């Protein structure tokens, strides 16, 4: 390789590695801020090495699995409350008034945005459903995972004959 090309090659590699290092350091510093949501475990136990807990009244997002059997609806309004949990086993409660997304069901991943009312209660203004990266036909999902994905409202109407997979 010609010396001129070699010089250009090394200066290019130097520039790239310097910028990669800078971006890496920046992302590392922002680690806690880029997370879209707190998990119930992070909410209760604190986030990161500093065990920083959010303050009551803080605006935040909370994400976790809906605890089966915890969904309770108000009979006369759209008020609903449910518990979220994660691998840590900690539980946080979400209170929400409005229409839940179609994918909302027990055992489903949910991200709720709102204001922290007390240490583990969130008054949500928006509830988003998170779905996993698995794509299966309903029969396969039932056979492999033993899951019948049925929205909670339809659970109460007693077992429908056909398998429900959508909203």
Partner 1 sequence: MFKWLDPLAKPETLFHFCGKLTPWLMGSAIFTMLLGNIWGLGFTPTDYQQGDSYRIIHIHVPSAIMSMGAYMAMAIAAFTALVWQIKTAQWAVLAIAPIGAVYTAIALLTGMAWGKPMWGAWWVWDARLTSQLILLFLYFGVMALHGAFSDRQTGAKVASLLAVIGVINLPIIHFSVEWWNTLHQGATITKFGKPSIDPSMLWPLLISLLAYKLLLAALACYRLRTAILENEQHRPWVKQWVAKQ
What radius of gyration do the chain's Cα atoms show?
23
CA 150 to chain CA centroid, Å, is 20
Residue 26 interacts with partner 1 (CB under 8 A)?
Answer: no
Burial (CB count within 10 angstroms: exposed 0-12, middle 13-18, buried 19+), residue 62: buried
Residue 136 interacts with partner 1 (CB under 8 A)?
Answer: yes
Q: Which residues are annotated as a binding site for heme?
A: 131, 135
Q: Binders of partner 1 among 50-109, rule CB under 8 A?
A: 63, 101-103
Nearest to 155 by CA among 95, 108, 121: 108
Residue 25 interacts with partner 1 (CB under 8 A)?
Answer: no
Residue 27 interacts with partner 1 (CB under 8 A)?
Answer: yes
* 10 touches 18 (CB < 8 A): no
Cβ count within 10 A of residue 130: 15
Smallest distance from partner 1 to CB 132, Å: 6
Q: Which residues are annotated as a binding site?
A: 131, 135
Among 55, 89, 134, 162, binds partner 1 (CB under 8 A): 134
* 40 touches 88 (CB < 8 A): yes
Among 132, 156, 161, 162, binds partner 1 (CB under 8 A): 132
Among 14, 25, 36, 78, binds partner 1 (CB under 8 A): 36
Cβ count within 10 A of residue 165: 15
Q: Which residues bind partner 1 (CB under 8 A)?
A: 5, 8-9, 12, 15-16, 19-20, 23, 27, 31, 34-39, 63, 101-103, 111, 126-138, 140-142, 147, 149, 165-167
């Amino acid at each position: 390789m010609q010396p001129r090309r070699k010089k250009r090659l090394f200066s290019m590699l130097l520039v790239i590695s310097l910028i990669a290092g800078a971006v890496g350091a920046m992302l590392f510093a922002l680690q806690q801020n880029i997370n879209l949501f707190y998990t119930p475990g992070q909410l209760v136990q604190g986030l990161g090495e500093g065990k920083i807990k959010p303050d009551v009244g803080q605006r935040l997002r909370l994400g976790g699995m809906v605890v089966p059997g915890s969904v309770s609806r108000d009979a006369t309004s759209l008020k609903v409350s449910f518990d979220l949990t994660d691998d840590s086993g900690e539980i946080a409660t979400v209170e929400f008034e409005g229409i839940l997304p179609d994918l909302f069901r027990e055992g489903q991943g949910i991200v709720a945005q709102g204001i922290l009312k007390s240490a583990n209660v969130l008054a949500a203004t928006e509830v988003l459903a998170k779905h996993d990266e698995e794509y299966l036909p309903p029969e396969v999902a039932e056979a492999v995972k033993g899951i019948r994905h049925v929205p909670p409202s339809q659970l109460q109407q007693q077992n429908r004959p056909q398998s429900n997979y959508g909203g």
